[in-house]
Structure 1
Amino acid sequence: MHASDLPLINASLNALSTVFILGGIAFIKNDMKQAHILSMICALVTSTVFLGCYLTYHYLKHGVVTHFTYPGWPKALYFFILGTHTPLAALTVPLVLMTIIPAFKAIYEKHRRIAKWTFPIWLYVSVTGVLVYLMLYVWFPSSEIVR
């Protein structure tokens, strides 16, 4: 495996997290608590592995930057998605922690109250992470790499 493989792995982990998050919300809405717990643990694990791979990739890149060079509306859309994804991704880590700690302590009312905010943000970050990958590497790939 090479560092160049990590963006695809990261996007795959984000996609998998999306599936687990959606499963988790569907399970709890159908009062399937054990399935909800398992699905959310899987979402947490895949998101944590993603974060480790993401940080590893950026550590290994040593200043190499891939620019989005496709002009017009795709560029505007890419920067809108990236501009909302990035701060919300940073917000997701503390939100997830604030959501799971009460669940582990069986303080379910607090868990539900915070989860109402965490769920849509975590889902958005997971989905837009995949979109960023697709736009940057699949749909509008750039040959320009800056060191």
Structure 2
Amino acid sequence: MSTEIQLKEKKFNRLITIVSIAVPLVVAILFGVKLPNVEPLSFLPPIYASINGLTAVLLIASLIAIKNKNVKLHERLNTTCIALSLLFLVMYVAYHMTSESTPYGGEGTMRYVYFFILISHIALSIIVIPLVLRTYAKAYLKQFEEHRKWAKITFPVWLYVAITGVIVYLMISPYYA
């Protein structure tokens, strides 16, 4: 590996570390901020749930594209998935800064199922940030063998986060005010 590539990779790794720490911290901080005198953005949950669903579909399409050796489509789909994830994050934070959290009203076994899915979704949504960024960086640096190794871990985690985002919404939506 050339010195230039090593320097680029070092810069990417530093940036990935910063973003991977900053994003969850900023989201946690903003989650506690309520904007006074702002109309609740109660229309956002079905939109950002749909964005999660679209991300899941595009991730599968991206996998099919690369299996069919359509590298350009694969790149575009993954870049779109990253953009959709950022859009989701902005909407999610905006909703929670203008609206009270909705408690889950289900009972019995479904309550445990809901909280298992929710907690695993949240935990993996934090973990997926550096995975996605590192996998993307490996492709950008044309380290395709390393990219493939990272993608085998990143893809199922990212797909799980996208799908469970939709499931969490569907499970809690009957309890929105």
Map of 1:44 onto structure 2: 82
1:89 to 125, 132, 138: 125
Residues 121-130 or 3-12, more deviating: 3-12
Aligned to 2:175: 142
In 2: Cα distance, 1:42 partner to 1:2 partner:
28
Which of 68, 71, 77 pairs up with 1:30? 68
Q: Deviations over 1:87-145 (max 9, x none)?
A: 001111111111111111111111111111100000000000000000000xxx226x7
User: Which amino acid in 2 is paired with 1:111?
Assistant: H
Unpaired stretches in structure 1, ≥5 consecutive residues: none
Which runs of structure 2 are paired with 1:67-78 in the superposition (5 Å)? Answer: 67-78=103-114
TM-score (norm 1): 0.89
Letter in 2 for 1:31: K
Partner Cα separation in structure 1 for residue 85 and residue 101 of structure 2? 23
Query: Is residue 101 of structure 2 the alignment partner of residue 65 of structure 1?
Result: yes
Structure 1: which 4+ aligned runs deviate by more than 3 Å? none
1:101 corresponds in structure 2 to 137
Q: Partners of 1:59 and 1:92 in 2: how far apart?
A: 23
TM-score for both structures, normalised by structure 2: 0.74
Unmatched 5+ residue regions in structure 2?
Answer: 1-38
Counterparts of 1:107 and 1:36, CA distance in 2: 16
Counting aligned pairs with the same residue, the percent is 39
Moved more, 23-32 or 120-129: 23-32
Secondary structure (helix, strand or coil) at the match of 1:65 reads coil
**Larger deviation: 48-57 or 12-21?**
48-57
Tell whether the 8 Å contact from 2:40 to 2:98 is kept in structure 1 after alignment: no
Q: CA RMSD in A?
A: 1.5
Equivalent-residue separation in structure 1 for 2:124 and 2:137 (angstroms) = 20
Alignment match of 1:115 (pick from 143, 151, 161): 151
- Mapped to 1, the partners of 2:136 and 2:53 lie a distance apart of 21
Distance in 1 of aligned mates of 2:148 and 2:167: 28
